[in-house]
Structure formats: C-alpha cells, structure tokens
Amino acid sequence: MAGSLIKINEAIVTSATPSVTLTGIDSTYDVYQLVISNYQSASSQTINMRVTESGTDNDTANYDYAYKYLKSASAFANSYNSNLTSTLLTATVGDTTTNSAYNGNVSSYLFNFNNASEYSFFTFESTQNETGGTVVGIQGGGVFTSTSSCDGVYIFGGNSYNFTGNFTLYGLKKIL
C-alpha cells in the first residue's frame, strides 16, 4: 500500500488562526482523507468542518451527522443532528490552560465531493485526553445534503476561538 496516500494540500499553523481552508479536491481521486494533528486552542471547543465550493465555505443548513461518543469514565452515548450550518469532527477539545489540549488525530474520509450530481459524504473519528486522564473519542459520519461540486474543506473552532495545528488533505490512490 506504499504510495496510496497522495498529499494534495497541507497547512501547518503555528500562529493562532480562526480557520483553515484546504482545497484541491477534484475528479482525480474517488476518496480523499483529511488528517488533523497537534491541534491546540486557548479555550474548549469542537473542531468543525464545512465543504468548500470554488474555495469558499458553504454555510447553508445542509449538514447532517451522527456519531458514537466514547468516554473512558462513563457510558457510551449516541448523538445526531441535522440541518446544521457545519458538522463537527471531534468532541469538545480541551484548552491549553487546563492541560487538556487535544492530543491525538482526527481522520475524516471524504466521498463524492467533486460529483455535482451526488451528496457529499464523510466519516470522522477522533480521540483525545481530558484533564485527569479521561480518554474521549467519537466515531461517526455525515452528509452535506446538496448536490454540488465541492473542492475542499474549511476547518474552524466551534466557539470561534483561534487555534494551531497540522492539517493535511490526501487523495487515496486506487491500488489494483
């Protein structure tokens, strides 16, 4: 499987910013992958995503998602929502002041993004440590319920707080 991930775009954010846009999705690959690592914020928030069309984020109420919430200190739970102006990719990420900054990876697979006659689908999974050593994660998926050609993703903090981190978009090459 060596060479099956082709880097399309990357942003390494070292100065706090409110958002990151990664474009480059086209018809070259059927599936793309978004990977987020080393994410840190000055305040607790979720990491959210919107699709981009011609490089501009689409904030219409066309995002639906569902996920399983996994927490080492309590029971699992299900969550879902529809007709939102974005989707989340993580549970609430802690802040640097309480030593619970996000510590892990977000991985999201993106399907049908460049196909203007189909909805764009995505999966997501993330893990993190909270204060006191509690491990939290979510695993789920969602859909952008509009038939449009999407060329990328727009990442932002749920409470509009600035953040730093590494953001990479890959194309998944078919291995026959």
The pTM score is 0.89
125 burial level (CB within 10 Å; 0-12, 13-18, 19+): buried
Q: What is the pLDDT of residues 114-132, one digit of tens each?
A: 999 999 999 999 887 766 6
Q: What is the pLDDT of residues 48-58, one digit of tens each?
A: 999 999 999 99
Please report which confidence band the pLDDT of residue 99 belongs to, taking 50, 70 and 90 as the band edges: very low
Neighbouring C-alpha atoms within 13 Å toward the C-beta of 139: 3
- Higher model confidence: residue 117 or residue 161? 117
